[in-house]
Structure 1
Amino acid sequence: MVQEFNKVGVVGLGTMGAGIVEVFARAGFHVTGVEIDTSALERGQNHVQTSLERAVSKGKLTAEEQGAIMGRIAFSSTREDLGDADFVVEAVPERMDIKRDVFTDLDSICPPGTILATNTSSLSVTEIAALTRRQEQVVGLHFFNPAPVMKLAEVVGTVNTAPGTLEVVTEVAKRIGKTPVTVTDRAGFVANALLVPYLNHAASVYERGIASREEIDTAITKAAEFPMGPLTLLDMVGLDVSLAVMEVLWEEFRQPRYVPSPLLRRMVSAGLLGRKSGRGFYDYSTGKNPAEEQPTGPVARSVRDNDHGFDLADMLLAPHIDDALRMVGDGYATADDVDTAMRFGCGYPKGPVELLDERGASAVANVLRGVANAHFAPYQPAPLLGKLLYDGTETVRST
């Protein structure tokens, strides 16, 4: 069925949408990229062209291959040009009113057999699917930025998505060079549901004056060899984007660990959104830190003096690992799915379950206990972690 796809459509040609167009065209699909705003359409075309030229200059593509890829791409300012598409990916901004307009339009324009996918990272795929008369053929297909580089694609089914549709989209994801993780519709899916609370927790640690921004970021890059620290990553992702995900997680789960950091809220209200606004936890024009300075109190000194038997990296990572174990224990995703999502979607050298297996369940539990006792955060160990301790097992995967 994948081989029968003659034409793919992508609606929305921002950075992500343009990247998705490139991904499909590189994989041999004929793609039509649609953007109703003419200036945005031109920017999208330029983005694809520039990206391919960069690949040629780096020796990753030949000029002939670039020409062939561009030959498979058409651009349009009207959605009616998707009337013969077999598969359409929506990549418009994360606003339900905009997505409502797109999906009701596509539902009337596209043939009955066309599969519709949303690239949403935080909105309900189920709610989006319900806007159409083809709920069995609507899925989430969540790419990660930059789409031509990041290997993860989350394939998200709703209660009404046909199993055959999920199979087709999973195979499509593989054909375009992605590593798919297939899950059901839930706030944040796998990657964002784990990544963003970890970033939010780091913001809370900074807000309480427990450590400086540099100490927080350096602790993680050294201890876990992550490509960047959480506050730097927050600035790159966008504080407003992370806050929106936290609010969605809080709305669905109503658990204390999903309460957005007050500092995060204040910074977003002040327009300190990170790199895209020029200032976030770091100032990208002067190097000056615009985030609110917090006093260093006894709690901060206690952590730095290691009075509780854990260090800053432990304090940042243990709740993150616990969240991953909670997700696995809930049956939402397997340990392999979790680690795959974080490695290929977020650039982790090791997934959170791998980190648990490396550190040991009892060590992680001791940190969580110490964090709770010191009143740093309201974390209680995940049931799966409790089971490992009860069984006397230190790892999720047998070694």
Structure 2
Amino acid sequence: MTLGRVLVVGAGQMGAGIAQVVAASGREVLLRDAFPGAVERGLATIERSLAKLHEKGGPDPATVLARITPVEALGEADLMIEAIVEQADAKKELFRAADEALPAGAILASNTSSIPITELAAVTSRPERVIGMHFFNPVPVLALVEVIRADQTSDETAEAIVALAHELGKTPAEANDFPGFVSNRILMPFINEAAYALMEGVAEPEAIDTVAKLGFAHPIGPLALADLIGLDTCVAIMDVLHAGLGDPKYAPCPLLRRHVAAGRLGRKSGRGFYEYG
């Protein structure tokens, strides 16, 4: 199965990174985002990222950027990779529209970090061609791609996406369609417990993160990582885990909910567990 032209929907932090690595592999990329100015901001992010990588021997930025075309409509593509907001209804609406707009043989993939792929597949007429393709932030740097098969996903679709991940220079890890898949089923309780440790006065944020970095050899502490992911996204993922698995251990820490309610979303808002300039 040839996946030569890829439509990336969502030009935020994740979508821009996905567009960059796909274009760097030599493929044509169509980049779409419904929010005014989002594609332009995404392209600027890609340009900065490529410039940094070029200093370390990476590809020519102009060559990669020339393969990315902003589009307003869901156009002709062999593959769509969705990277919009982590809300089930918004994703389902997009998958319905993409199912109508893209060629019958096209694969529809989601970069969701928690929403069941089976639910997204069910709203299309091609459920066997729907799959999860969960990248990790920052996409140009981190090697992992979690490949999640819906109940309906065909072997052919899964094999094509695993092969694509390898061609993008990534390492695919296949998972079945459970809430949170593998990564967030493990990661979110870790972040949540760190938030409880802070809320209960066990230690200050810097100490909690230092324990994880020096004691567990993690490159970044759980609270700083939550700020990078976005505290609102963390809460959304935990809500999916809690609802899907029915275990109270997945319920978001009250401190996380308070921070989100106060607009303290992490790096993207300038303040989360830490403050950012």
Structure 1: give runs of 5+ residues left out of the alignment.
286-399
Which residue is equivalent to 1:189? 181
Distance (Å, rounded) in 2 between the aligned partners of 1:222 and 1:274: 23
1:35/1:206 CA distance change after superposition, 3 Å? closer
1:28 to 3, 26, 29: 26
Task: Name the one with the larger strand percent.
Answer: 2
Which residue is equivalent to 1:44? 42
Which residue is equivalent to 1:69? 64
1:241 to 228, 233, 236: 233
Deviations 1:280-321 (A, max 9, x none): 223336xxxxxxxxxxxxxxxxxxxxxxxxxxxxxxxxxxxx
Distance (Å, rounded) in 1 between the aligned partners of 2:15 and 2:78: 17
Distance (Å, rounded) in 2 between the aligned partners of 1:247 and 1:234: 15
Q: Cα offset for 1:170?
A: 0.7
Matched, 1:6 2:1: no
1:255/1:116 CA distance change after superposition, 3 Å? same
- Higher mean C-alpha displacement, 191-200 vs 254-263: 254-263
Q: Cα offset for 1:160?
A: 0.6
Q: Cα offset for 1:278?
A: 2.5
Q: Is the 8 A contact 1:35 1:78 kept in 2?
A: no
Q: Is the 8 A contact 2:86 2:233 kept in 1?
A: no
- TM-score of the aligned structures, taking structure 1 as reference length: 0.66
Q: Is the 8 A contact 2:188 2:238 kept in 1?
A: yes
Q: Cα offset for 1:192?
A: 1.2
Matched, 1:281 2:273: yes
Q: Is the 8 A contact 2:86 2:236 kept in 1?
A: no
Q: Is the 8 A contact 1:126 1:185 kept in 2?
A: yes
Matched, 1:163 2:155: yes
Q: Is the 8 A contact 1:38 1:77 kept in 2?
A: no
Distance (Å, rounded) in 2 between the aligned partners of 1:208 and 1:54: 41
Q: Pairwise mapping of residues 121-140 of structure 1 onto structure 2 (< 5 A)? A: 121-140=113-132
1:102/1:223 CA distance change after superposition, 3 Å? same
Distance (Å, rounded) in 1 between the aligned partners of 2:115 and 2:187: 16
Secondary structure of the 2:152 match is: coil
1:155/1:229 CA distance change after superposition, 3 Å? same
Distance (Å, rounded) in 1 between the aligned partners of 2:21 and 2:86: 21
1:282/1:255 CA distance change after superposition, 3 Å? same
Secondary structure of the 1:280 match is: coil
Secondary structure of the 1:45 match is: helix
Which residue is equivalent to 2:168? 176
- TM-score of the aligned structures, taking structure 2 as reference length: 0.93
> Deviating runs (4+, > 4 A) in structure 1?
none
Distance (Å, rounded) in 2 between the aligned partners of 1:229 and 1:130: 37
1:162/1:267 CA distance change after superposition, 3 Å? same
Q: Is the 8 A contact 2:50 2:61 kept in 1?
A: yes
Q: Pairwise mapping of residues 49-60 of structure 1 onto structure 2 (< 5 A)? A: 49-56=47-54, 58-60=55-57
Q: Cα offset for 1:169?
A: 0.7
1:133/1:55 CA distance change after superposition, 3 Å? same
Q: Pairwise mapping of residues 209-224 of structure 1 onto structure 2 (< 5 A)? A: 209-224=201-216
The one-letter amino acid paired with 2:57 is: K
Secondary structure of the 2:61 match is: helix
Deviations 1:354-398 (A, max 9, x none): xxxxxxxxxxxxxxxxxxxxxxxxxxxxxxxxxxxxxxxxxxxxx
2:73 to 73, 78, 95: 78
Secondary structure of the 2:105 match is: coil
The one-letter amino acid paired with 2:3 is: F
What number of residue pairs does the alignment pair up?
277
Distance (Å, rounded) in 2 between the aligned partners of 1:191 and 1:137: 23
Distance (Å, rounded) in 1 between the aligned partners of 2:266 and 2:83: 22
Q: Cα offset for 1:11?
A: 1.3
- With a CA cutoff of 8 Å and minimum separation of 6, indicate the structure with the bigger relative contact order: 2
Distance (Å, rounded) in 1 between the aligned partners of 2:265 and 2:168: 32
Task: Name the one with the larger helix percent.
Answer: 1
The one-letter amino acid paired with 1:47 is: T
Q: Cα offset for 1:38?
A: 4.2
Distance (Å, rounded) in 1 between the aligned partners of 2:153 and 2:94: 19
Q: Cα offset for 1:128?
A: 1.0
Structure 2: give runs of 5+ residues left out of the alignment.
none
Q: Is the 8 A contact 1:121 1:142 kept in 2?
A: yes
Q: Which has the larger radius of gyration?
A: 1
Distance (Å, rounded) in 1 between the aligned partners of 2:40 and 2:267: 24
- Matched residues, percent identical? 43
